[in-house]
Amino acid sequence: MIFVENLNKKYGPIHVLKGLDCHIREREVVCVIGPSGSGKSTFLRCMNGLETITSGSIVINKHRLDDSKSDINLVRQEAGMVFQHFNLFPHLSVIDNVMLAPLKVAKTSKAEARAKAETLLAKVGLEKKMNAFPGNLSGGQMQRVAIARALAMNPKIMLFDEPTSALDPEIVGEVLAVMKDLANEGMTMVVVTHEMGFAREVADRVLFMDEGLIVEEGTPEQIFSAPQNARTQGFLSKVL
C-alpha cells in the first residue's frame, strides 16, 4: 500500500531523512516513535506531499509522489491526515468543517455530505456539537472533529502526526479510543506518537527513528520488550 524507497529530505545543508526504506501493508497499523528531531513528522508529511522529497520515492496506492505528473490532490484524498494542533477551520462550524472537502473536492451532494458528516460525528461522539464552532470545543473534541473531517473523504490510509501531544493528559484517552476503533475496523494507519501504551497495544509494527534513519523496527513486543539497538534501548529506558 505504501512503498518508501531511499527517501531523502534536506532543508538546505541539514539532512533530515537519510535514505528511509519502508513498506506498509493494507490494514496495517504502524507507529513511528523516536526522540524529538529524529525526522518522524517530516517522514509522515512527505507521505502526503506537505514536504517535497529531495530524492528517493514514495508510492501510495500506485500514485508516485515524486512524479510531477501524478496529481498530489488525488493522493491526499486517499491519505487523510490528522495534525498535532488539529488545524480545524475556525470560521466554519463543526459540521461544515467535516462537509467542506466532500462538497468541494469530491463534489458529493449536500444531502449526502451532511448525512456522512453526521454519521462520522456520531462515530467520534460529537453529534451534539455539530453546530458548534471550533473555538467552543475542548482540545480532545477538536481532535475528534479533525479525525472525522479526515475520514469524510473515505481515505484508504490515515496519517496521524502526534495527535495527542497538544492535549491535556486527562483527555488523551478519548482521542486514542477513537483511533483504536479505527484500527479495529481495519484502517491502514501510520501514527507518529509519544504514546508508548497506544503503540504497544494497537500497533502491528513499530518503527524507531533516530537522526533521520529507521534504526529498528519490529512488533511492539520485539521493540518494547527486547530492543536490539542501543539507541532504541536508550530512548525506551527514558520514556517507559
Partner 1 sequence: MFRAFDWQDLIPLLKGAWLTIQLCAVSGVLGIIFGVILGVARTSPSKIARWISTIYITCVRGIPILVIIFFIFFGVPLLFPGLELDKFVSAVIALTCFAAAYVAEIVRGSIESVPKGQSEAAEALGLNYWLKLRYVILPQATKIMVPPGVGFIIGLVKDSSLVTVTGLIELTHAGNIVTNLTGDPIKTFLVVAVMYFVICYGVSLLGRLYEKRTGIHVDPLKLPETAGV
Where along the sequence are the contacts to partner 1 (CB under 8 A)?
A: 48-50, 73-74, 76-77, 80-81, 83, 85, 87-91, 100-101, 104-105, 146, 149-150, 153
Nearer to partner 1, 97 or 193 (CB): 97
We find the least distance from the C-beta atom of residue 132 to partner 1, in angstroms, to be: 14
User: What minimum distance in Å lies between the beta carbon of 83 and partner 1?
Assistant: 6
CA-based end-to-end distance of the chain = 31
- Give the type of residue at 1: M
88 CB-near residues (< 8 Å, 6+ apart): 94, 97, 134, 142, 145, 146, 149
Q: Which is nearer to partner 1, 31 or 146 (CB)?
A: 146
Nearer to partner 1, 151 or 215 (CB): 151
225-234 exposure pattern, b = at least 16 Cβ within 10 A, e = fewer: eebeeebbee
Residue ranges of alpha helices (H) inside 12-71 are: 40-47
**Which is closer to partner 1, CB of 57 or CB of 84?**
84
What's the closest the beta carbon of residue 81 comes to partner 1, in angstroms? 4
Q: Are 184 and 123 in contact (CB under 8 A)?
A: no
Cβ-based nearer residue to partner 1, 38 or 48? 48
How many Å is the Cα radius of gyration of the chain?
Answer: 18
What letter would DSSP give residue 29? Answer: E
How far is it, in rounded angstroms, from Cα 119 to Cα 127?
A: 8
Shortest separation between residue 153's beta carbon and partner 1, angstroms: 6
Give the three cell numbers for residue 102. Answer: 466532500
Provide, rounded to whole angstroms, the least separation between the CB of residue 177 and partner 1: 23
